[in-house]
Each structure stands twice: as C-alpha cells, then as structure tokens.
Amino acid sequence: MRLLIKYASGWLVLLCITQFVQAQAEQETPQEAADEVLQSSFITIRDIIITGNKITKDYIISREIPLKKNERYSIADVLKNIPLSRRNLVNTGLFIDASVDFTNWFSDSMDLVVDVKERWYYFPVPYFKPVDRNFNVWINEYDASFARVNYGLKLILNNLSGRNDKLNVWLITGYSKQLLLNYTAPYFDKSLKHGLSVDFQFAQNKEINYLTENNKQVFYKDPTRFVTEKLRVGVGYSYRTGYIRRHQVKLSYNVNKINDTVFYRNPEYYGNNAREVRYPELSYQYQYFNVNYIPFPMKGFQWDASFLKRGMSKSMNLWEFSAKAGKYWELAPRLYFALQGAATLKLPFDQPFFNQQIMGYNDMFLRGLEYYVVDGSAGGLSKFTLRREIWRPSLNTGLKSRSYRIIPFRFYVKAYGDLGYVYNHTVLNANPLNNRLLYTGGAGIDMLSIYDLTLSLEYSFNQLKEKGLFLQARLGF
C-alpha cells in the first residue's frame, strides 16, 4: 500500500506539472502575441459558405466554427479561429478532411468558405474477430485458432440523419452470441448542446474468464452450451459546452448469469455465493479535448474523469473513480513528445473477481506486458513516447470520388517507456505482478491513415526479461 501511495503521489506531481505547462501555453495565445494592428483592426463575417457536404446538415458544420455570420471580429481573432475551426471539424469524426479559409475580402468585411470531405457513413460490415484481448494473445497463445473467433454482421449507420447521430446493430454468432442495438443523437435540441442515447445488449458465451493465475486469464469452456449470459438495457444523456468540453451520464439495468460449473470453479466470481446478479449502474464522465486530433493527438492537452456506481446491495456494490490525462508537445518540426497517465480506484477494496479488472484491459495496458493482466482495487500507469515523422506518402486510388481519390498515410518511428502499479489488498502469491512497480520500454513504428486507422508495430521489453514484437490495430468505425 505504501508503494501505491508513492506512485499516486508521483503521478499527482506529473499531473500538476502538465497542468502548469498547459496554463503557461494558454497564456501565450496567438491573440496576446499578435501585432497591435491586428488586434485593433476589425472585420465583419458577411457569410459562411459551406461546400462538400451531401449528408451532414449545414448547422452541424456551423456549430464547430467559432466565427459566426454577421458578427464583427478583430483580424487577430479571425486568424486564430480559422485553424481552430478546421480542428473542430476534423475532431467530429464526420470528415476525412476539412478546410476553412476566407474569401471575397472587401474593405471591412469578408466571407468564410468551409469545404469538407465526408466519410462513408453506412457500413454493413462483415464481422470477424478473435475473442481474445488482443492479436498477440490470439496468435501466440491459441495459434490463431478459428475456433476462437466470432463472426456475423455489424450494421453501422453513422451520421444517420445528417446530425452526427449513430445507429449500431450487431448480429454476432460463432464462439459467442451477441445482439446489440444502440442509437446516439448528440444534438437533439436547437442549441445543439444536449444529446440522448439508448442501448440494448444481449450476449451469451461458451467460454468465460473465471480466474487469474500468474497474471494470465484462466478460461473455462463448454463447447456444448453457453456458460454465461448478459443482458443490458440503458439510456444516456450528454451535454457539450463550447468545443472541447463534454459531459456524459448513463443509467442502465443489468442481469448477469454464470452456470453451476463456473460457480464451483470460482465461488467469488460475483461474490456472496451468487450465480446471478441484477443491478443498476450509473456512470458520469467529463472529457476535455484540446488537442489537434483526438484519435491520435500530437499537440495539445486532454483529460477526462469518470465515476461509476455499480449496484446498490450486498450482492453488487462498487464505487469506481477513474482519471486519464495526456500532454503532447511538438519539440521541433515533425518531432513530438507525449506524456500520458491514468489511474483507477475501486471501493470498497474487497471486490469480487467480476469487478477487479484494471491493467491489461482495453487501453489500460503497458507496452510489453500485453500477455498479462493485473487485477486489483487501485492502480495507475504513466507512458512516455517520443515520435519522429519519417514519411508522408499518398495512394492514388484512381477513384473519381473527391474524398477517396487520394488516401494519405503518415509513418512515425518512436521510442517509449511505461510505468505501472496495481494494488490488491489480498496477497496473491499466484499473481506476482500485483503490488509491485512495473516497467517496460521499446521502440516501434506507427502508421496513421483515414477513418482513424492506426497500426503500431512495436518491439518491447519488460522487467521479466521478456521481449518481442507486438501488433496493435485500431479502426474508427
């Protein structure tokens, strides 16, 4: 516990430093550094001309532009907000690219022209995905077995009505079965600040991770029947203030079941000798995105904080607090440095296995420890990455589409180091990575392209004297 406190204190110091650097950066804005003439010269925006949008509504695009029609601004404000407008548009996830510029400048007035390249929004996607946590586990520990694959159809309808709303319908079978319906409308009111969402999910699986030993997931499989079942029904509300701050609240009701065999293997899976749990879940998340590109930030600052309350009885009682932050610098042309951190606290400390996931799940992992998981009630990590852009090629597809005639790519080489710690108040001799400082490092290559496609090939090492190649892939459908 003492080591956890030291780690948390160190992370708090790093966070304070990044906040101070951010505050200093905000003090040195282009407006304050602009020439006195630009500050004292004013101009009126006569019109905002929007082109390239066939589906997206004009007012959804206009919402992302700080400059408004028939309003008067200093020239310094105009010069500052034109690149900010492009950044806001790209970060909506609606466009492959966007440009904002001024035109028809006469005397003390001008027009703005906004040109966007829309994505394909509708994807009937054939679904084929290993059930394991990542490709490295699937390939190296299960020999890329097709028996451990889910397949089916994902119907993804983004920007369904032109208001950046989304409808997802998943029909998945194979190793598990899953039915998912989700609709999200981020702007349902005239002020374009309030959003709503509804979702329904039903899943059955023939395999379940019921225990962790040697910091590896232990599975039980029954090829003849499903061993676990989940039902979730939920609603959500979102509120977006300005351009970089977002609030989300979600409320759901959940029913989870395991069969007798799983219960006998781990009676503390749900705790309290339960084979079935029914519980409400309430979550709140605040997000701050002041970065150039949310899926792959290179400049700026972002952070988010979240709270989750799962259950209200002895059979399920979890209070979870989480925070993540990242500061990104351009040290020199095409040379970038990133400092990222995350922390999670679960109360009370005595949680059933179902509520103990921390390290090694989703994006909470150390590069070089992808084969391991570390469960517990509190933990955190820090990541340091130095990147250099080395190549910016483009692929000419020959298509007549203005959005897809040229496909851009960016390649970066990088070096990195990670630190992490997970506290479990129960001494677990079978899981040696708990309650100790973890560190990894390595070097690799990142590739970035349209649809937020990111491929990372990394050669990593860890304190267990293990090393090897790891592949990370992400696609923003």
| CATH number for position 98 | 3.10.20.310
Q: What is the mean pLDDT of residues 118-130?
A: 82
If you average pLDDT over residues 276-292, what whole number do you get?
Answer: 97
Residue 238 has pLDDT above 90, yes or no: yes
User: Is a pLDDT exceeding 90 seen at residue 63?
Assistant: yes
Model confidence at 178, in pLDDT bands (50, 70, 90)?
confident
Is residue 267 predicted with pLDDT exceeding 50? yes
pLDDT, position 16: 43
- Asked whether residue 173 is domain-assigned, the answer is no
Q: In this model, does residue 70 exceed pLDDT 70? A: yes
Higher pLDDT, 386 or 151: 386
Domain region containing 107: 34-118
Beta bridge partners, 310, equal 281, 318
pLDDT at 31 over 90: no
What is the reported pLDDT for 408?
95
Q: Grade residue 14 by pLDDT with cuts at 50, 70 and 90.
A: very low
When pLDDT is averaged across residues 192-201 and rounded to a whole number, the result is 97
Model pLDDT, residue 258: 97
Determine the average pLDDT of the residues in 331-356: 96
In a domain, 312, yes or no: no
Query: What confidence tier does 128 reach under pLDDT thresholds 50, 70, 90?
Result: low
pLDDT classification of 287: cutoffs 50, 70, 90 = very high
Res 147: pLDDT = 65
Residue 35: per-residue pLDDT: 66
Taking the alpha carbons at both ends of the chain, their separation in whole angstroms is 41
Q: What percent of the chain has pLDDT over 70?
A: 89
Does residue 249 form part of some domain? no
What are the tens digits of pLDDT across the range 356-405?
Answer: 999 999 889 999 999 999 999 999 999 999 999 999 999 999 988 888 99
Between residues 6 and 38, the one the model is more confident about:
38
User: Which pLDDT does position 97 carry in this prediction?
Assistant: 94
In a domain, 114, yes or no: yes
| pLDDT higher at 160 or 402 | 160
pLDDT at 15 over 90: no
Give the percent of the chain with pLDDT over 90.
73
pLDDT at 22 over 60: no
Neighbour tally for 187: CB within 10 Å: 20
Tell me if 315 is assigned to some domain.
no
Query: Is 99 domain-assigned?
Result: yes
Residue 257 above 80 pLDDT?
Answer: yes
| pLDDT confidence tier of residue 107, bands split at 50, 70 and 90 | confident
The answer as to whether 72 is a domain residue is: yes
From CA 111, how far away is CA 103, in angstroms rounded?
Answer: 5
Highest mean pLDDT among 122-126, 169-173, 425-429: 169-173
Domains: count for the chain: 1
Mean pLDDT, range 243-255, rounded to an integer: 97
Which carries the bigger pLDDT value, residue 335 or residue 429? 335
Question: Is 52 contained in some domain?
Answer: yes
Query: CA torsion sign, 304 to 18 to 294 to 85?
Result: positive
pTM of the model: 0.86
Q: Is the pLDDT of residue 126 over 80?
A: no
Q: What is the pLDDT of residue 120?
A: 92
